[in-house]
Amino acid sequence: MKKIFTILFALVVFLFWMFVLPYHVLYQEEIQIFPYTWLHLKQCLAFPGGVASYLGEFFVQFFHVAWLGALLLAVLTALAQVQSWRVVSSVKADVNDAWYPLSFIPAVCFWAFLCGAGNLVSALVAFLLICEVALIVCKSKCDKLWLPAIALAYYLAGPMAFILAVVALADIFTARSAKRSDKVLDTVLTILTCVLVAGVSISIFTQYPVKSLLCGIEYSHIPGQYTASFWTAVFSLPVVLLVSLLLGRKPLANKTRIYVLIAVSAVISLASYAYVKKHCSKDMERIYAYDYHAANRQWDKILAMAEKKTPRTPSEVICLNLALVMKGESGDRLFEFFQSGIPGLFPNYDTYVFLKFTGSEALYQAGLLNMALHYAFEAYQTFPGGRESARHIKRMAEVNMIKGTEDVAEKYLKVLSHTLFYRKWAKKYLQDQSLMLEDAEYSRLAGCRNSASDIFDDMYDYPKQAILRDQVAKSGKADESYHYLLAYDLLAKDTESLASDIRLAKIEGPVPELYQEALLVPWITAGGNADYDRDLVSDTVLAKAQAFVKDLQTGRTVSYMKVHYGKTFWFYYSSK
């Protein structure tokens, strides 16, 4: 029965990560890196909890594949449940099996904890290491081993090791053969050991804040962030242990035991569902999904998501506009969706770290290479906790290869060559960086190289427009940079610039409607008495503009205009 419960629990956890929050799994891998080098191992062994951090990063590298990440999370979470019960059983061997469902509480708490943005798998690994140390000491039947075990667990798993002190006290006070004086002495020694370990750690690892040394260094991406879900997970095992010791004393008849098992299982199942649901952020999942699809050039998936629910957050809008440009649909569909102006194309420079991820993608595909490199480097340098990211490093390698700075690109490629999933790609270009010209994307972007001094001035919007214009004038192609330039003109409501920019390259086929609508703005504002580019504007769009002018003149309501013209440039232009 116990195995069946555990297997079903693992299956539910797997299905959750696979189908409910798969992009949380993929995002974890994107913002970490696990190089197979002695240097990385030594860096992890140099601080308390480094072993748990190293093992956590080892597991997370497999999150590169969503189903594999979901499987590993299911296994680790199920192990947390099994280990919790083993610890309870080791402290009190005769605990009644009717209370077995209580052992799922720590696992569920860590499950919910990992739903939070920035929370690391290393926290769950630390918990498993602590449980294993506790089991070893319990089996030894030697109370004096708890003292060195706490110190060892602190080094292996970090401050979560203080859970071990609670297990130690429970083991000491449930030992019937020990004298009362011995129990008091062991209790005092256990508490003093915790104080000593904390004090020695603070005096040795002076580079870390005291709060991190007492609460954890590598449990979250954001140093010093300890959420309610974190503390719930930390104290879950001590609470379960205490409840099991109090309730598990009395023997239960078989029939009563079954009733208790069913009742406890039902309560914990319902409470677990509510607790995990509370910490399950579908909004963040959607943002991660947009960002992942953008990073992997899955433009159709981005558009499919946007058609189901209009994007609203800055990251989502940037990814949507990127997809529209890359699919060649920005000139027709830009205003089918919510737009936030220029920041919907390129985020402001002084933005938060995650948006620099997405912003770097948009700048990169637009051909603003130095700006893309700048955003990626800034995100890399300012990432909370100083963690390295495979995605950042790969972007910096790509841009430096395209720019022709091979020596710089080689440094980043060497780092990636020591990883599992990026090794093949990195070694290919380490052998010969000129091979990047065989790739259609890299070859296109190589034509966007620009050495102008103002290319680094990405604190403001104007240089982006100017650089895009220079790139289009240089290439003469109606490519992605061209459509980004015209999208910029549209969102900036700069019809004068669009009228000249549209002639920088020849569009194959009909001119997109939104461009035509922008060309007719001077004609509309003049009440139909101004000239317009007759060779670029179709009769259909002109008739539509005449109807728009007529409706304006008759004083139609805003709601009416939105229904009939909400997807036009004219409605966007006339709105605040």
Any idea how long the chain is? 576
d(CA 480, CA 407): 28
Domain residue ranges in the chain: 2-278, 284-490, 516-574
CA distances from 114 to 33, 58, 292 (A): 18, 16, 19
Q: What is the dihedral of CA 525, 529, 532, 538, to 10 degrees?
A: 90
Whether residue 359 contacts residue 375, with contact meaning beta carbons closer than 8 Å, is answered with yes
CB–CB of 238/163 below 8 Å?
Answer: yes
Categorise residue 262: left if φ over 0, alpha if ψ from -120 to 50, beta otherwise: alpha
C-alpha to C-alpha distance for 532 and 521, rounded to whole angstroms: 9
**Mean pLDDT (10-residue bins), the chain, 576 residues:** 91 98 94 93 94 96 97 98 92 76 96 92 96 90 84 94 88 69 81 92 91 88 84 94 79 77 92 96 95 96 96 94 96 95 85 78 92 85 74 93 94 96 96 92 87 49 81 90 95 94 90 95 81 86 92 88 93 86
What pTM, to 2 d.p., does this model score? Answer: 0.92
In this prediction, residue 454 carries a pLDDT of: 45
Greatest extent of the chain over all pairs of C-alpha atoms, in Å: 104
What's the confidence (pLDDT) of residue 248? 65
pLDDT of residue 529: 73
Q: Which two tokens stand for residue 470?
A: 């220079």
- At 453 the pLDDT is 46
